[in-house]
Structure 1
Amino acid sequence: MTPMAAPARAAAPRRVALFDLDLTLIPYDSGMAFLRFLVDRGVLEADVTERYLDACHRYVRGELPVARLHAIAMAPLARFAATERDALGAAFHAQIAATIPQAARALVAAHRERGDLCALVTATNDFVATPFAREFGLDQLLSSRAEVRDGRYTGGVEGELCHGAAKVARVERWLAENGLAWAGLAHSVFYSDSASDLPLLERVAEAVVVRPDPRLRAEAEKRGWRIVEVLADER
């Protein structure tokens, strides 16, 4: 009699950890950091950061659409040819490395060491967000995409911003690309500071709010979500 083959062992359900970037893993706005970097290098006018900050305030007051805010942050990319753009990207990466809190690095590393499938999920455009993803050792970046035509950035957005409900759709496409779905996950967690991320916070099994804005703090308290004031407490 031919011995029966041992049944294939089913893969263990995956755990997924998702991280917002601005004011969550880093204590500042990455778009502003990039604009300041360009101003300091003398390739942008000095008042660009003031205009962007004013746009941020108008967005918070509900006076400016989020797409317009991100368009302001991405517009400078259209000024640079590919070689200059790549050199600026490398220099920006070198500059931001020292600004990333060790506690944030440790949090991401702890999830990776547990075997969680990790991704940075941010509305920041991919040009600016990529250096941060690399610093955290994350090869999964779900972000807004800066539009490219004929090898040059246009200063616009390709497709939909990775923001609000669109973050949920983006994560679901990414899960499907990895042969996964919410229902089959062993666990899912998302770290964020902003009420704009409520759709994704509501979708994961565990919502963790980090130094939340007032609206998100109120929602977290109402729903019993964990509130983290000091990222170093998370492991």
Structure 2
Amino acid sequence: MQNTHTTARPRLALFDLDHTLIPFDSDYSWGEFTSRLGWNDPEAFKRQNDAFYADYKAGTLDIHAYCRFATAAIVRQGEAASVAAHARYMEEVVKKGLLPQALALVQSHQAAGDTVVIITATNEFVTRPIAQAFGVSELLGVALARDDAPGGTGWYTGEIAGVPSFREGKVRRMEEWMAARGLDWSAVHTTFYSDSINDVPLLERADVPVATNPDGPLRALATQRGWRILDLFA
């Protein structure tokens, strides 16, 4: 007799972070915060930060150039000062953006037994404590290279390590994450929440794409394709 029993695929709930789970861009706000600390020239930093952010929204961001810019202050300041400043940033900026409806959405997936992964184009230094505040241990942020040479600082260099989790890179990072666990796309059921047109490659790969607080281009695409639209912060 044929065995008709099938084992349910493990379920993954994937979340972008900025403007998806939190109602602001953590990389951008971290830059503003470090300017207030006097770590940057405020006017020059804001001008360049705004230009990079416009490139991001337009889908033309040079992620390597941006990462060098965004991490320059912590590279200069060193580990102890940077970690202490980030703790202040969490208290003064991030906590007010941890909204109940976003926390509840993450927790609903966790309660259902789904593995929750936050996958973001913001670097791991900025985003790790934010993911932890959501109770999420699996974070795929932009990995930062360290100066691990003999006699080196052991701290970040400003360069990206490996594949940046940006645009098509999010698909590759997810594939690397799954492969390390003996999984592939056919072996899992994936739901992916994102606000950004930059995340179309991963939205297209997910079993259930959810345009969450979507930007204009993504809202139009989601409407055209019949994807679910979730206005979490409405």
TM-score by length of 2: 0.87
How far the C-alpha of 1:231 sits from its partner, in A, is 4.7
Code of the residue aligned with 2:208 in structure 1: it is: E
Q: Which range moved further: 12-21 or 135-144?
A: 12-21
How far the C-alpha of 1:87 sits from its partner, in A, is 1.5
Tell me how far apart the structure 2 counterparts of residues 64 and 163 of structure 1 sit (CA, whole Å). Answer: 10
| Residues 37, 92 of structure 1: 8 Å contact kept | yes
SS of the residue corresponding to residue 191 of structure 1 reads strand
Code of the residue aligned with 2:32 in structure 1: it is: R
How far the C-alpha of 1:128 sits from its partner, in A, is 0.3
| Residues 163, 173 of structure 2: 8 Å contact kept | no
Aligned counterpart in structure 1 of residue 218 of structure 2, from 216, 219, 224:
216
Tell me how far apart the structure 2 counterparts of residues 30 and 81 of structure 1 sit (CA, whole Å). Answer: 20
Tell me how far apart the structure 2 counterparts of residues 107 and 133 of structure 1 sit (CA, whole Å). Answer: 14
Give the aligned partner of residue 181 of structure 1: 184
Give the aligned partner of residue 94 of structure 1: 91
- The percent of aligned pairs where both chains have the same amino acid is 37
How far the C-alpha of 1:208 sits from its partner, in A, is 0.1
Pairing of 1:19-168 with structure 2 (within 5 A): 19-47=15-43, 48-61=45-58, 64-95=61-92, 96-149=94-147, 150=152, 151-168=154-171
Code of the residue aligned with 2:124 in structure 1: it is: D
Q: Which range moved further: 211-220 or 19-28?
A: 211-220
Structure 2: tracts of 5 or more residues without a match: 1-5
Code of the residue aligned with 1:116 in structure 2: it is: D
| Residues 59, 69 of structure 1: 8 Å contact kept | no
Tell me how far apart the structure 2 counterparts of residues 202 and 78 of structure 1 sit (CA, whole Å). Answer: 36
Tell me how far apart the structure 2 counterparts of residues 222 and 201 of structure 1 sit (CA, whole Å). Answer: 14
Q: Which range moved further: 215-224 or 36-45?
A: 36-45
Aligned counterpart in structure 1 of residue 195 of structure 2, from 193, 199, 222:
193
Structure 1: tracts of 5 or more residues without a match: 1-9
TM-score by length of 1: 0.87
Tell me how far apart the structure 2 counterparts of residues 98 and 114 of structure 1 sit (CA, whole Å). Answer: 27
SS of the residue corresponding to residue 219 of structure 1 reads helix
Tell me how far apart the structure 1 counterparts of residues 105 and 30 of structure 2 sit (CA, whole Å). Answer: 24
Tell me how far apart the structure 2 counterparts of residues 69 and 84 of structure 1 sit (CA, whole Å). Answer: 22
Tell me how far apart the structure 2 counterparts of residues 94 and 11 of structure 1 sit (CA, whole Å). Answer: 44
Tell me how far apart the structure 2 counterparts of residues 168 and 62 of structure 1 sit (CA, whole Å). Answer: 16
| Residues 163, 172 of structure 2: 8 Å contact kept | no
Tell me how far apart the structure 2 counterparts of residues 114 and 60 of structure 1 sit (CA, whole Å). Answer: 33
Change beyond 3 A, Cα 1:147–1:223: same
CA shift digits 1:150-200 (9 cap, x unpaired)? 312112222231111111111111112223222122x21000011111111
SS of the residue corresponding to residue 201 of structure 1 reads helix
Tell me how far apart the structure 2 counterparts of residues 24 and 168 of structure 1 sit (CA, whole Å). Answer: 18
CA shift digits 1:13-68 (9 cap, x unpaired)? 31110000111111111111111221222333222233201321244446653432
Which consecutive aligned stretches of 4+ in structure 1 deviate over 3 angstroms post-superposition?
58-64
